[in-house]
Structure 1
């Protein structure tokens, strides 16, 4: 297939990582792939690349015309756009382009009307799919290249509970830090940067948790940290299908989480709690740390699922199936 992927914005996160890995994976599967995106992503993509600055207003006439010309020139079998903004921009152009189209919703959004113009829509979690009003919607969980595990890495002593993400309100790290109160003989490591860093550090000090809660900042060795950790925790208020969940499971690190996004589909129910519930999150972490061996047994089937379905090849098979359905439709 001749496939064009479209990505708006100029940020760094799960969506951008997803598009890069999807582009390379599709190319390795023998497809002809083009990516239309901001110039900053050119160097990390080893596929045909067309630079259009979609970080500007979604109604910028000049940018929309550039995007129209790029899509028309590529004349792909399938145009696959990622995220609400890209969907909003491309949906305005579809009436003037005779193209088959797919869009991916990467997290639950209130406004999804821009997805109605596409032949099919992919949601990265059941939670996100719930808000889509579309006759041809599919849930395709994210998949990644499996991390390279280091057999020499040992679990940290005392046990480490690891959390990874941008230090922003949606990740619920303030709730996590409050839920850590009273947990002993373990350490909480929070990895990531963001504008809430000072606020979170103040909260750690206020709760007298400096000895057991560490803000590690940005790190590039996430797989190694996952292997050192005895438990991974997510405290987010909402998510799609986060890469850190997948990394934890592929590193065979069990996790507890708020019941959001793909976690409700993948993780055992007994390890989920409501969002913003300090007491329940505290209890989940306490229970896990008391019997980590039992938790590992309960996660065997989850690890097997992740190794099959949450790796890049599994995701590619599912995405290609959606493409074929769209191309074969009348």
Structure 2
């Protein structure tokens, strides 16, 4: 059965050597490409036999369908559903994530990606996501050349290699710089930057 964490304290016990991929937001499969994420992660686990976990943070109308697809793809042991925390609890969660995933089929303003960037978390986004140009400009993650699960699975592998060879810290710094340069005006971002600063001072 897919694991659903009731509290963040359980999340903190994860193995730090295992890459954590995450989606945060509304559980709307069609709009935000959650099916693409799950199929890509299944390839990553079963075809490429790599370690890692996937956190789906949020709630929404398609939660039951997500759980069904997770079971169908036989990735229950590596996928964790979580409620969306607030304030410092959200920052504690973001600080444990290696990469955000947003293969949206259409999206105007992905606040979750900006919040992640403010916590120095890079992202993989689709070209259809409005901040894809900024992600590409700042090298704050990867923009999907093709919005399909096979391409996303290859980018997950690329991320794993970057982490293994200690190149990921540069991508993290780039993400924070993008957030500060491009989105500092956003009230949500300012809150996250302040929390991030107080937690690391």
TM-score (norm 1): 0.45
Aligned length: 163
1:1-60 CA deviation, whole Å, 9 max, x = no partner?
Answer: xxxxxxxxxxxxxxxxxxxxxxxxxxxxxxxxxxxxxxxxxxxxxxxxxxxxxxxxxxxx
Shift in Å, 1:154: 9.8
1:249 equivalent to 2:117? Answer: yes
Higher normalized helix content (fraction of residues): 2
Confirm or deny: 8 A CA contact 2:121 2:175 kept in the other structure. no
1:265-296 CA deviation, whole Å, 9 max, x = no partner?
Answer: 21127711146411001111111012123233
Distance in 2 (CA, whole Å) between partners of 1:279 and 1:300 is 28
**Higher Rg of the two aligned structures:** 1
Shift in Å, 1:171: 1.1
| Residue 183 of structure 2, aligned match among 301, 304, 310 | 310
CA distance change for structure 1 residues 194 and 274 in 2, over 3 Å: closer, same or farther? farther
| Residue 167 of structure 1, aligned match among 27, 49, 53 | 27
1:182-229 CA deviation, whole Å, 9 max, x = no partner?
Answer: 323110000111111111101110111001111223433332211111
CA distance change for structure 1 residues 295 and 154 in 2, over 3 Å: closer, same or farther? farther
Match of 1:272 in 2: 143
Higher relative contact order (CA 8 A, sep 6+): 2
CA distance change for structure 1 residues 177 and 234 in 2, over 3 Å: closer, same or farther? same
TM-score (norm 2): 0.71
The CA RMSD measured in Å over matched residues stands at: 2.5
Unaligned residue ranges in structure 2 (runs of 5+): 1-11, 45-49, 189-201
1:97-120 CA deviation, whole Å, 9 max, x = no partner?
Answer: xxxxxxxxxxxxxxxxxxxxxxxx
Unaligned residue ranges in structure 1 (runs of 5+): 1-152, 316-330
Aligned-partner SS, 1:182: helix
